[in-house]
Amino acid sequence: MDKNSNNNENKGIWSARFKGKLDNVANHFNSSISFDKKMYKEDIEGSKKHAIMLETQGIIEKSDLESILKGLEEIESELDNNILDFNLESEDIHMFVEEILTEKIGNPAKKLHTARSRNDQVALDIKLYLKNQIKVIVTKLKHLVTTISTLASNNLDTIMPGYTHMQIAQPITFAHHLMAYAQMFIRDIQRLTNANNLMDKSPIGAGALATTTYNIDRFLEAELLGFECPTRNSLDSVSDRDHVIEVANSLAIISMHMSRMCEEMIIWQSNEFKFIEISDKYSTGSSIMPQKKNPDMCELIRGKTGRIYGNLVALLTMMKGLPLAYNKDMQEDKEPIFDSIENTTICIEILDKMLETLTINTQNMAKKAEEGYINATDVADYLTKKGLPFREAYKITGSIVKYAIDKKKTLNELSLDEYTTFSDIFTNDIYDAINIHNCVESRNIYGGPSKEAVSLQIKETLEDLGYDILEVL
């Protein structure tokens, strides 16, 4: 080995250009293998399809392709079965796979990187990884929506108060309340699906930034990889991380929806409400107060939402000032999105299981729905239907509510004589109009809280998921 060879030992693929070895701390700082190893299956898949394209175009020999495919399959199998350990001295997952492949098959491995750069390779890997993870998350969201729809179907007659400003507003059903969240999660599925469709263009073949002089077929490689087509501009291909940010944004919105639901579950389980009881399987106790049953899983989901928001902000901030094309800053896209995917996924699973095992205190919900003059709007509607202008009816109803508060009576407890002191329009049918169940059922409007309207919501929601209601309920 000559002097130059000795100097270049263990310095990486660019060693011929440099005189000195990279500082150990700098080498560790520069490395991404500790986290981008998550993408080993995607990296291997990309390499397989790249090799097939190279052979198809006559750039490598068929024997080279056979050796490469066999070697890559061995590496994937060994990693899958924990036979092979990741070498954390490798700079990244791309170099690790190439190094192991070279050990296994020798010279053909050195031809694999022909007509590509790690810039387009990593862009491909992260797209493939995100597409795979989107499938997993969408599947879990579909199960969550199904769980919510089933719970709603079992509570079509469960009356509860609806709130605005956290003040009792109008009566609804627990089913109606639940289906509001179902719509949020349906939109989340659509949002992830849209993100998947937008990233459905293969960056491989863009090279470092200016494609390659080799006669490659980007359309063939895109097809082999399952993409709709190749990306249109090579500079954009390697400098774009929109897909990462869009998925991170979708996960942040999913987390926000879960956090809102968990916040309500925390409130509902409190002694002040007692609307629900979360299963012991998803609750914890206190180290000092033996009577406590804490909704820790709900609180953790709520807390992790801030973490997932932070990942989105980190990605946006990292990208905001980068000139074209690739910059090393972009290595920092992996950990935030990996973290968001991992935490969103587990949060969906936990929320789903909590809802499956939830106990509903229907009597407490119904009792609370009788409070707070919740049927006041129905008094005003009653007068309006009798011919009074709504604003006049509203004013009269306000006076009635004030009177009832002073008398410490509910609207149902007021006598007809008391009602007629405010307007001679009132007759005995006022009591049917302000019956809580009737208040709910009279709102039989598309999207409303009536049993029929909510049943339709459940049916259409399940149809959005591709299910027949009879298959689920």
User: CA-CA distance, 33 to 40, in Å (whole number)?
Assistant: 10
User: CA-CA distance, 457 to 179, in Å (whole number)?
Assistant: 7
In this structure, how many other beta carbons lie within 10 angstroms of the beta carbon of residue 208?
A: 15
Alpha-carbon torsion (382, 383, 389, 392), positive or negative: negative
Q: Are 222 and 196 in contact (CB under 8 A)?
A: no
What is the Cα gyration radius of the chain?
31
- CB neighbours of 163 closer than 8 A, spacing ≥ 6? 169
Structure tokens belonging to residue 356: 């499956």
Structure tokens belonging to residue 28: 């560790």
Element spanning 398, H or E: helix 390-407
Structure tokens belonging to residue 358: 């939830």
User: CA-CA distance, 232 to 202, in Å (whole number)?
Assistant: 9
DSSP assignment letter at 110 = G
Q: How would you write 286-344 as a 3-class SS string?
A: CCCCCCCCECHHHHHHHHHHHHHHHHHHHHHHHHCCCCCCCCHHHHHHHHHHHHHHHHH
Exactly one of 5, 63, 77, 286 is catalytic; name it: 286
**The Cα angle at residue 153 between residues 152 and 157, in degrees rounded to 5:** 85
Identify the CA nearest to 72 among candidates 48, 92, 103.
48
Structure tokens belonging to residue 113: 């990187």
Active-site residue, 286 included: yes
Element spanning 277, H or E: strand 276-277
Q: How would you write 25-86 as a 3-class SS string?
A: HHHHHHCCHHHHHHHHHHHHHHHHHHHHHHHHCCCCCHHHHHHHHHHHHHHHHHHHCCCCCC
CA distances from 183 to 162, 176, 259, 447 (A): 17, 11, 15, 11
Question: Torsions phi, psi of 429, nearest 5?
Answer: -70, -5
Decide: residue 166, CB within 10 A, 0-12 exposed, 13-18 middle, 19+ buried.
Answer: exposed
Exactly one of 90, 165, 176, 455 is catalytic; name it: 165
Kindly tell me the number of DSSP H helices and DSSP E strands found in the chain: 21, 6
Alpha helices in 171-295 (DSSP H): 174-198, 218-224, 234-239, 242-269
Residues taking part in catalysis:
165, 286
